[in-house]
Structure 1
Amino acid sequence: MDLCIIIKGVSFLLQTGLGVLGNVSVLMAYAHIAYSESYLQPVDRILAHLAFSNLLQMLTRGVPQTMFIFGLHNLLDDPGCKMVIYAYRISRALSICLTGMLSFFQAVTIAPSAGPYLTKLKSRLSQLVVPTFIGLWLLNMIICITSPLFSTAPRNGTAPAFTLNLGFCHVNFHTSLSYLVNGAVFSTRDFAFVAVMLASSGYILILLHKHSKQVRSIRRAQQGTSMEMRAAKSVVMLVVLYTVFFGIDNVIWIYMLTVAQVPGVVADLRVFFTSCYATFSPFLMISTHKKIKERMVCAAGEQASEDSTEKPNTK
């Protein structure tokens, strides 16, 4: 096997393995929190949903991509490609939408009440989470409906023009117009939610700066607010992480829109950088969210205790 293929395969294998492990860990931690506390804060529910969408993204793109690189071709037929590509497009879209939703909800949570409208919005945040989830799912299911229409299993020979060669599947747009229209629709949605998360994060940073001045003199009185501010910092870190990989992804995507035949290495690079957020974001959640970390440490301690009690007595 060629050295470049081995390096590419190992890179995707590590990325997929870490992504699945990290997101499953976050989901299990939140399941334990929901079971023990019977309630999740709005931000926690969004983070759990984000971990689910990231996990779905890794399973529908990272796993088949890795299998294809290691020589397992003809994995999917036409219906299989349509289903997998559709699920991938929705999960990728949800990742950006939920990050934007997360930053907006966090900004509203820590914003000082300065009017009846904002006060009412704050009191209804927990009630708006599920309807917003449903709205985002419906929005992205409608926007991504064209993806299964253009998705097919790979055919023998060279992929035709205006085709995204994913290896395990092809997305053939047939004409330059449909290729550009689909790219424009997806990019418009993505940039709109990036604008929301950047605006919300900018507002959070302003509040964090003001808070840092206040807390020097009234640290004890601001204890509750400090917890919210720590959560806000972790949201900003998630936004920064997404923005970095989003920028790299879109530089490659803009290049892909300018050529009729996309080189395979370019498509692989875009897949890799697109999936980086789904891989690294759960570990950022674990390191910055006290609840998740405590549940994981608790679970590890309980497992170690069970192993020690089950160990046979050799005396």
Structure 2
Amino acid sequence: MSSLKNVLNFQAGLGVLANMFLLVSYTFIILSHRPKPTDMISCQLAFIHIVLLLTGGDIWLKEIVESLNVDNDFKCKTTFYINRVMRGLSICITCLLSVFQAVTISPSTSLLAKFKYKLKKYMTYAFLFIWSFNLLFSSHHIFYIGAFTNVSVTNQMKITKSCSLFPMNYIIKGFILTVVTSRDVFLIGVMLTMSAYTVIILFRHQRQCQHLHSLSYPRASPEKRATQTILLLVVSFVIMYWVDFIISSTAVLLWMYDLVIPSVQKFVMNAYPTITPLIQISSDNRITNMLKNTQSVYHHIFRKG
């Protein structure tokens, strides 16, 4: 178990550092350059993933909270609620990212083209709605999560070392699971629909390019690279989400958690927020150029010194 904990610590640490770097990079791009409509979404997604990784259980906040002498019940409710809100925001913002990218690259003859020049206005409303919705949607976790009391009569399901999920009525449990699944299936459906739409657009664009440049292939445009990156993020999210959903749903329905299951679930749950910034950093030329420029400046300073 100690080796598994070390793997989780390394994964979470890598994810937090990568997302912090991505957040700083996109903040600098938004303030200093002419940003793309999706930059603000990516910036917010990086922030969400930082909080998601930091509230992912006992790995990060246990020592900090205990040093502040905070009540365990309050700690469990707060960290679990924030974590679930961030998980909901992660899927919503990823969906929003795929929609906005589809609108951005849509041809002028498509129905989505009329929204292309109103993205900034719609983005603000979308953010307000998504945050409000998820803050309210995840509020039920406050009533069913608490400190583990070590009393077998209560039939608690231990989900971390100090927190447990309290028993719920089968009707309430089924209703919550149905609502959460419906929300996620709808958002994943939108993501896959937008991804299929963008693939069709890219395929048509590639055929036109091959027709115009039969002897040489043109370099991928920034829009194409950005679209390919978002498609990769969507595929990664869908895979990680369904693996996590199968594990958590099985555990909740059967009301049993093996000691290894929470750790495996954490690893799967943290995989997407960890690989997302790595994919975005490696595929965004603006960030790689910033790194190259910073490296050359430091190299010039040290050589001069």
Same fold per superposition (TM over 0.5): yes
Q: Residue 167 of structure 1 aligns to a residue in which SS?
A: coil
Per-residue CA deviations over 1:165-215 (Å, capped at 9, x if unaligned) read 222422324333333322222222111111111111111111111111111
1:100 and 2:95 aligned: yes
TM-score normalized by structure 1?
0.86
Amino acid at match of 1:85: F
1:283 and 2:242 aligned: no
Seen in structure 2, the aligned counterparts of structure 1 residues 160 and 223 have a Cα distance that, compared at 3 Å, is: farther
| 1:13 alignment partner, one of 9, 26, 29 | 9
> Could you say which residue in structure 2 is the equivalent of 1:114?
109
Q: Residue 152 of structure 1 aligns to a residue in which SS?
A: strand
| 2:23 alignment partner, one of 23, 27, 31 | 27
> Could you say which residue in structure 1 is the equivalent of 2:163?
169
> Could you say which residue in structure 2 is the equivalent of 1:181?
175
Seen in structure 2, the aligned counterparts of structure 1 residues 173 and 189 have a Cα distance that, compared at 3 Å, is: farther
Alignment of 1:215-294 (within 5 A): 215-218=209-212, 226-294=221-289
Matches of 1:296 and 1:58, distance apart in 2: 25
1:299 and 2:294 aligned: yes
> Could you say which residue in structure 1 is the equivalent of 2:192?
198
Which moves more between the two structures, 101-110 or 172-181? Answer: 172-181
Matches of 1:215 and 1:56, distance apart in 2: 42
Per-residue CA deviations over 1:207-235 (Å, capped at 9, x if unaligned) read 1111111112336xx98993212211111
Q: Residue 261 of structure 1 aligns to a residue in which SS?
A: coil
Alignment of 1:30-41 (within 5 A): 30-37=26-33, 39-41=34-36
Matches of 1:207 and 1:276, distance apart in 2: 29
Matches of 2:3 and 2:70, distance apart in 1: 21
| 2:132 alignment partner, one of 124, 138, 144 | 138
1:42 and 2:37 aligned: yes
Per-residue CA deviations over 1:258-277 (Å, capped at 9, x if unaligned) read 31222232222112101110
TM-score normalized by structure 2?
0.88
Seen in structure 2, the aligned counterparts of structure 1 residues 155 and 223 have a Cα distance that, compared at 3 Å, is: same
Matches of 1:159 and 1:291, distance apart in 2: 58
| 1:87 alignment partner, one of 79, 82, 100 | 82
Unaligned runs of 5+ in 2: none
Matches of 2:219 and 2:295, distance apart in 1: 29
> Could you say which residue in structure 1 is the equivalent of 2:52?
57
Matches of 2:276 and 2:133, distance apart in 1: 23
8 Å contact from structure 1 (residues 89, 144) kept in 2: yes
Cα deviation for residue 53 of structure 1 reads 0.7
Matches of 1:76 and 1:49, distance apart in 2: 30
Q: Residue 165 of structure 2 aligns to a residue in which SS?
A: strand
Q: Residue 65 of structure 1 aligns to a residue in which SS?
A: coil
Matches of 1:184 and 1:267, distance apart in 2: 22
8 Å contact from structure 1 (residues 56, 88) kept in 2: yes
Seen in structure 2, the aligned counterparts of structure 1 residues 91 and 297 have a Cα distance that, compared at 3 Å, is: farther
Per-residue CA deviations over 1:124-144 (Å, capped at 9, x if unaligned) read 112211211111001111110
Q: Residue 59 of structure 2 aligns to a residue in which SS?
A: helix
Amino acid at match of 2:187: F
8 Å contact from structure 2 (residues 54, 61) kept in 1: no
Amino acid at match of 1:55: I
Unaligned runs of 5+ in 1: none
Cα deviation for residue 8 of structure 1 reads 1.3
Matches of 1:172 and 1:161, distance apart in 2: 7
Seen in structure 2, the aligned counterparts of structure 1 residues 176 and 236 have a Cα distance that, compared at 3 Å, is: same
Cα deviation for residue 24 of structure 1 reads 0.3
Matches of 2:159 and 2:175, distance apart in 1: 18
Amino acid at match of 2:159: N
Matches of 2:77 and 2:94, distance apart in 1: 26
Matches of 2:189 and 2:76, distance apart in 1: 32
8 Å contact from structure 1 (residues 51, 282) kept in 2: yes
Seen in structure 2, the aligned counterparts of structure 1 residues 109 and 162 have a Cα distance that, compared at 3 Å, is: farther
Count, aligned residues: 300
Matches of 2:99 and 2:263, distance apart in 1: 32
| Percent identity of equivalent pairs | 27
8 Å contact from structure 1 (residues 76, 169) kept in 2: no
